[in-house]
Structure 1
Amino acid sequence: FVTTLTKNNFTLYEDDKQQEIQNFSRETNLPLTIALLVDTSQSVAPKLKFEQEAATNFFYSVLQEKDRACLVEFDSGVTLVQDFTNDSNKLAKQIKTLRAAGGTALYDAIYHISDEKLIREMGRKAIVILSDGEDMSSKSTLQQALEMALRAEGIIYAISVNRGGFFGVGSSKEGDKILKQLAEETGGRVFVPFKVEELEDSFQQISKELRSQYNIGYFSSNKARDGGYRRVEIKVEEKGVGVRFRRGYYAPTS
């Protein structure tokens, strides 16, 4: 995370039209609200133990006293296993109860946790997904899941469990593509660990990125209150520096 950038280093566009940056600040050590979504479908049954270990390690590694996290499992349906808490021990205890069965309702899990939980929360919000990315059971579509995550201002980070050599089962390029799209559209990213030891580094990167961000605000030149999707692009004028950001938002309707 580069800490020396200023407002003048950034250029912001909405639907290809440059916008004037009105507010700019660097935020650090932010409290987090995290929803951890664990895929417990039959397709990941051989990887469930890894997922449980990864989920437990994630909470112990990332969660601080000022943070709140919930645990969601999804197979053919979506279940809130543990509501928001800052108690890692309580979350770890519930992780041990997870069992693999049924299909995969990834999109439903994202949609419901965004609509029923995250949209009501304030501050920095993240959805962390442990999955192979293959949805087979959702009533929601990929686009509907993305839209609801954007409306809830949730940043999606995904940890793929697809690597064949690591898990002893086949990998899914299509599943990884889905996870990548979900993450990138909301300003997050995908981690594809080849060995267990890489997980800790992934968790620390997620924590660091979520707690240390630049906050850029502007008043859109498009005054229409039509509920439409507005595509956002941010460019940084600094050699060797990349930027991740939420790719858009939905305009208000009233």
Structure 2
Amino acid sequence: MFGKKGILILLSVAALTVAAAHLALPRQEVARQPSNPSDKQVPPGFSDETYRVSVDLINVFCSVWHKDTGAFITNLTRDDFAIYEDNKRQEIKNFARETDLPLTIALLIDTSQSVAPKLKFEQEAAISFFHSVLRDRDRAALVEFDSGVTLVQDFTNDPNKMAKQIKTLRAAGGTALYDAIYLTCDEKLIREMGRKAMVILSDGEDQSSTRTFEEALEMALKAEATIYSISVNRGGFFGVGDTKNGDRIMKEFSEQTGGRSFFPFKVEELEEAFRHINQELRSQYSIGYLSSNPERNGAYRKVEIRIAEKGLRISHRRGYYAPSS
């Protein structure tokens, strides 16, 4: 349910695209979704049809780094990993190092009034990020959110188009973070194949959503989106204040989906967060397995990846929702 503002940038592999009429829209405001799902208003650029991909192979992307130096480890093999579902070891069917494969990246920027003093720095860092991360086989789309959510720029692989739209952003209104995550995943990311990441710049203090934290997280897991959150709350750079709840929410989204959270206190650290995300996205592994659980009941299943080598840390999504019959 896109209402008014929220930034979403989608870098995407050109597989499983939707109809062109849904993917090449000018900037438009979108009505927020009513509480009654049967009365849902579909925003421009988003389909009112439910789209799901049912596959038996479970793919889990992960990043591995040295616990002391933070350096990413990119030379591990299949035998270095073990994967478990609900505490039962699974047989790895597919394994790959995902260094240069296409990406779908969603960058959501909070443009609510509370982040107005920092918006300029967010814009500059986001523009630099796109110029460094966007490659020929990637694509990008842009959404902004405050009291609502707005699709600003749909899929493109042109960083200059993204930069032009990013510069137009203005701060106003409240914060509909959960709505932005839910709609981005449900109407965009879930349609894409391959690696999918969402980068969120927000203070994490949701005030305007009709969706809940739990609904947003569930949809992110169903879309297989890895969330990287960058806190821009009043306790961060250029500000003061107690924003533990907002930071906790941002961190939880990232941990559950296999991403990382960043809490910059100055502009240089904001830029460093984007550089770190760029590097991590090019240093991932893909592990695929066929679940030993044949039930198709839509239930949540816990996933854990273990590595034998000591001194290493790993991040990956904590679970997934089984397909329904």
What corresponds to 1:226 in structure 2? 297
1:193 counterpart (256, 264, 269) = 264
1:25 partnered with 2:59 = no
Contact 1:125 / 1:154 at 8 angstroms: preserved in 2? yes
Task: Mark the runs of 5 or more structure 2 residues left unpaired by the alignment.
Answer: 1-71
> How far apart in 1 are the matches of 2:320 and 2:235?
36
Dislocated runs of 4+, deviation >3 Å: none
Q: Tell me: CA distance 1:163–1:75, structure 2 relative to 1, closer, same or farther (3 Å).
A: closer
Instruction: Assess if the C-alpha contact under 8 Å between 1:41 and 1:103 holds in 2.
Output: yes
1:164–1:170 contact (8 Å) kept in structure 2: yes
Task: Classify 1:181/1:113 alpha carbon distance in 2 versus 1 (closer, same or farther; 3 Å).
Answer: same
Aligned match of 2:311: 240
Q: Give the C-alpha shift of residue 168 in structure 1.
A: 2.6
Question: Secondary structure at 1:242's aligned position in 2?
Answer: strand
Q: Distance in 2 between matches of 1:25 and 1:152?
A: 20
Output the CA distance in 2 between the equivalents of 1:45 and 1:165.
13
2-side partners of 1:217 and 1:38: how far apart?
32
- Give the whole-Å Cα distance in 1 for the aligned partners of 2:294 and 2:317: 20
Q: Hey, what does 2:228 align to over in structure 1? A: 157
Q: Report the AA paired with residue 57 of structure 1.
A: S
**How many Å separate the matches in 2 of 1:32 and 1:165?**
29
Percent pairwise identity: 73
By how many angstroms is 1:163 displaced? 5.7
In the alignment, what sits opposite 1:63? Answer: 134
Instruction: Indicate whether 1:205 and 2:276 are aligned.
Output: yes
CA distance in 2, matches of 1:32, 1:200: 20
- Kindly provide the amino acid, as one letter, of the partner of residue 131 in structure 2: Y
Indicate how the Cα distance of structure 1 residues 168 and 117 shifts in structure 2: closer, same or farther if over 3 A, else same. same
Identify the match of residue 198 of structure 2 among 118, 127, 130: 127
CA distance in 2, matches of 1:234, 1:121: 24
Distance 1:195 1:152 in 2: 32
Deviation at 1:28, TM superposition (A): 1.5
Count of matched residue positions in the alignment of Structure 1 and Structure 2: 254
Structure 1 counterpart SS, 2:287: strand
Tell me how far 1:194 sits from its aligned partner: 2.2
1:39-83 Cα distance to aligned partner (Å, 9 max, x none)? 011221222222222222221232222211111111110101111
CA distance in 2: counterparts of 1:216 and 1:88, whole angstroms: 30
What is the TM-score when the length of structure 1 is the normalising length?
0.94
Q: Tell me if the contact between 1:31 and 1:211 (Cα under 8 Å) persists in the aligned partners.
A: no
SS in 1 for 2:172: coil
Instruction: In structure 2, give the amino acid aligned to 1:2.
Output: I
CA distance in 1, matches of 2:275, 2:142: 19
Aligned counterpart, 1:9: 80
Which stretches in structure 1 are left out of the alignment for 5+ residues?
Answer: none
Amino acid in the other structure paired with 2:82: T
Name the residue aligned to 1:44. 115
Q: Which residue identity lines up with residue 214 of structure 1 in the other structure?
A: Y
Q: Write out per-residue CA displacement over residues 128-173 of structure 1, whole angstroms, 9 at most, x where no aligned residue.
A: 1010111111111111111111111111111111263621342411
Alignment partner of 1:88 is 2:153: no
Q: How far apart, CA to CA, are the structure 1 residues paired with 2:75 and 2:125?
A: 33
TM-score (norm: length of structure 2): 0.75
Distance in 2, matches of 1:24 and 1:56, equals 33
> In 1, distance between residues paired with 2:172 and 2:233?
18
**Pair 128,248 (structure 1): closer, same or farther in 2 beyond 3 Å:** same
